[in-house]
Every structure is written in structure tokens, then in C-alpha cells.
């Protein structure tokens, strides 16, 4: 991927190709957009399928090349995503963009296959207590259930991702030791997933925790190229955690346009890391990523408007920044429709 905004308007002023804090500037960062799925799944206001599709189109127009589109869970459990079959069927199949879908079991995979999906994500956690509350199984039972799902997806030639939620902290047991999350990740990699994503589900991690987990993962033999990180900004530490991940060599980070989403198990959760805040950080550090900030803000404002609230992200409120003039840009612009 190439940088869409580089050091131009909306960046923090660093020149592309520079090295900042020991981070090689020429290494492209993958931004894995989760707004259409994780960002919307807990929203009470139902978003029409056509608006979800337009949101995805706006994200693609901004340069995002990995957009997690939806989840094939029971519509009774997650009414917001009850249109998964219709939405996935409406997505282009040859535009060079990966549209992963989350599936909980073999039935979900069957629906995803029928709708034309081509990449999949499965989810478990680092603690039994969380998985029992979230999906009604222990961690071991969830891994057993994923075996046939991942095997089938592999035969289909699909790209496969696995989430390890509560990798840093659990709402039922407290702090999670790094080796516990890494042990789950190793089991998933044994199932031939392409990528493991460690999630700070309730937003309690700080950079020292991120460094400790990644050090343990690398010591265990997990290639850094197969690690992604998913931070919630519940307590304002998401961007600091991204920098810690970058310094350790991670180059894939999840984010949600507008900072939508969050975890129902984290009271007062502020939502996922906002994609526009991540893009501004990466631009300022001179790290290539391929996303245009102005177009991304249009996508974020569109979905915020459909949810009936103002854009809450920092860059959404302040806009980008032109280092040549010192002026804010795209601050408070009207949503694209």
C-alpha cells in the first residue's frame, strides 16, 4: 500500500520515509477497518442496509483495503447485523478490497459462503469467564468449534483471521497475564489462521502492557507479521498503545471510522480507536498506509449522521492540520451523503 496523505494536508508534518522513534518510515501500516461490523453491532438504532453499503463504499473510496463488513451471528442475538446475507451479496467481488466477515460457528460459515464471502474472522478470548458470558463456551470449547470452520475456510482458499479478546484485561477476572493470551494465539495459529489479533476489549491496556504481551508473543515464536492489535479508547490510551505496537514491529491495527463501537462489558466505554485519529498519527509519523484523511472523515460523518449523533473522535472534531499554513482542515465539515 502507498500513503494516501503522506506529509500533506491532514498530516502531522513528518516527511514520508523518515524514521520516528526507531520506527522505519518506509514500512507500510495496514489499517483494518471494523466500523461496519464492530462499530455498529451494539448500536440500538438500526441502520438500513443501503446505508451500511454506502458507508462501506465511502470507506473504500478513502483508500481502506480491509473492511470487516458484518457478522453472521443470529439476527435475534444481534439485530443490527441481521441483514448480513443481503449486505455481503451487494459487495463487489473484484475491487481488490478484502471484506472479512465474523462467524461464530459452522452455521455462520455456511451462511457466509452462500452470500459470497471470501475471508473470515473467528473470535475467542483469553479468559473462560469472558467467553462464557459472550458466547456461552469456555475458551477450549470455542477453539474446538472453530476447527471445522477454519478447516472449511482454508479449503475454500479464504483468508482467515482470529481474535483473542480480553488479551490485556477481563471484566470478570481482572488483569490478564501475557502468557495466557499468547497460549490462545498459539492454538489458533496451529489451526492455520493467517493472522491473530490481540484485543484490548475493555480498554485497560497501557504501553507497558502492550510491550510485555508482544515480547512474550515473539519469544513464543509468533511472527510479528502475523500479529494485529485491536485497541478500544475507553480510557484514552489507544494511540499510545499503537505507538508501542509500532515500536515492537506490528504493522496491522484495527480501527473504526468515527470511533463507533465499544464493549457492553465495559461501562462507559468510549468506543474503538477512531480510524481518523489513527490516520492522523500515522501521517504525522511519516508512515505509509494508503488512506485519505479528508475522504475518511466524510465516511465517519456519514455514519455518525445515520446514528443521529455528532462525530466524537478527536480529529473528527478538530479536523486535520496543514503544517504549511498551520490551519485546521476538514473541521466540522458536513457529512457526505
> What would the mean pLDDT of 286-296 be, rounded to a whole number?
97
Active site residue 252: no
When pLDDT is cut at 50, 70 and 90, the band that residue 331 belongs to is confident
Architecture category of domain 28-285 in CATH: Alpha-Beta Barrel (3.20)
pLDDT exceeds 80 at position 265: no
The pLDDT value recorded for residue 307 is 94
The pLDDT value recorded for residue 4 is 38
Which tops the pLDDT comparison, 124 or 13? 124
pLDDT digits (tens, 9 = 90+) for 189-226: 999 999 999 999 999 999 999 999 999 999 999 999 99
The pLDDT value recorded for residue 269 is 63
The pLDDT value recorded for residue 267 is 62
Choose the most confident range, by mean pLDDT, from 13-27, 167-181, 269-283, 316-330.
167-181
pLDDT digits (tens, 9 = 90+) for 61-103: 999 999 999 999 999 989 999 999 999 999 998 889 999 999 9
pLDDT exceeds 50 at position 3: no
The pLDDT value recorded for residue 135 is 84
- Specify the DSSP element, H or E, that contains 85: helix 84-90
DSSP state of 159: E
> Is the Cβ–Cβ distance between 179 and 246 less than 8 Å?
no
Helix 139-155 vs helix 128-135: crossing angle, to nearest 10: 70
> What would the mean pLDDT of 140-159 be, rounded to a whole number?
96
The pLDDT value recorded for residue 312 is 85
Which tops the pLDDT comparison, 14 or 158? 158
Among 170, 197, 252, 263, the active-site one is: 263
Closest CA to 27 of 285, 226, 296, 274: 285
Which tops the pLDDT comparison, 131 or 9? 131
Query: Which spans in 167-274 are helix H?
Result: 178-190, 207-219, 238-247
Cell of 283: 501521517
The pLDDT value recorded for residue 10 is 39
Decide the pairing of beta strands 159-165 and 119-125: parallel
How is the chain split into domains, by residue range?
A: 28-285
The pLDDT value recorded for residue 2 is 32
Close Cβ partners of 103 (under 8 Å, ≥ 6 residues apart): 71, 72, 109, 111, 112, 120, 121, 122, 149
Determine the Cα–Cα distance for residues 120 and 112; give it in Å rounded to an integer. 8
Query: Which spans in 95-165 are helix H?
Result: 106-115, 128-135, 139-155
Q: What is the mean pLDDT of the chain?
A: 90
Amino acid at each position: 500500500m502507498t500513503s494516501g496523505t503522506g506529509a500533506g494536508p491532514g498530516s502531522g508534518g513528518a516527511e514520508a520515509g523518515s524514521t520516528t522513534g526507531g520506527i522505519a518510515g518506509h514500512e507500510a501500516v495496514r489499517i483494518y477497518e471494523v466500523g461496519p461490523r464492530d462499530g455498529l453491532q451494539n448500536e440500538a438504532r438500526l441502520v438500513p442496509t443501503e446505508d451500511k453499503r454506502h458507508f462501506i463504499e465511502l470507506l473504500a473510496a478513502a483508500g481502506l483495503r480491509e473492511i470487516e463488513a458484518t457478522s453472521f451471528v443470529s439476527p435475534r442475538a444481534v439485530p443490527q447485523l441481521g441483514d448480513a446475507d443481503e449486505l455481503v451479496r451487494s459487495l463487489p467481488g473484484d475491487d481488490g478490497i478484502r471484506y472479512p466477515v465474523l462467524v461464530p460457528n459452522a452455521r455462520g460459515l455456511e451462511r457466509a459462503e452462500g452470500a459470497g464471502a471470501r475471508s473470515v474472522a473467528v473470535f475467542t478470548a483469553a479468559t473462560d469467564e469472558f467467553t462464557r458470558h459472550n458466547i456461552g463456551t469456555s475458551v477450549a470449547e470455542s477453539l474446538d468449534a472453530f476447527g471445522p470452520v477454519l478447516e472449511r475456510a482454508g479449503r475454500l482458499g479464504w483468508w482467515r483471521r482470529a481474535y483473542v479478546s480480553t488479551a490485556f484485561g477481563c471484566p470478570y477476572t481482572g488483569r490478564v497475564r501475557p502468557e495466557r493470551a499468547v497460549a490462545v494465539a498459539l492454538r489458533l495459529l496451529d489451526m492455520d489462521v493467517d493472522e491473530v489479533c490481540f484485543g484490548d476489549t475493555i480498554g485497560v491496556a497501557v504501553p507497558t502492557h502492550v510491550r510485555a504481551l508482544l515480547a512474550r508473543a515473539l519469544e513464543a515464536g509468533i511472527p510479528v507479521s502475523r500479529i494485529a492489535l485491536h485497541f478500544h479508547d475507553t480510557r484514552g490510551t489507544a494511540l499510545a498503545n499503537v505507538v508501542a505496537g509500532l515500536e515492537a514491529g506490528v504493522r496491522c491495527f484495527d480501527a473504526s471510522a468515527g470511533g463507533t463501537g465499544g464493549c457492553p462489558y465495559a461501562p462507559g466505554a468510549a468506543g474503538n480507536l477512531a480510524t481518523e485519529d489513527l490516520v492522523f498519527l500515522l501521517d504525522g509519523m511519516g508512515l505509509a498506509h494508503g488512506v485519505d484523511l479528508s475522504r475518511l472523515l466524510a465516511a465517519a460523518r456519514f455514519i455518525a449522521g445515520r446514528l443521529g449523533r455528532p462525530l466524537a473522535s478527536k480529529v473528527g472534531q478538530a479536523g486535520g492540520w496543514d503544517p504549511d499554513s498551520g490551519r485546521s482542515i476538514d473541521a466540522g465539515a458536513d457529512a457526505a451523503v
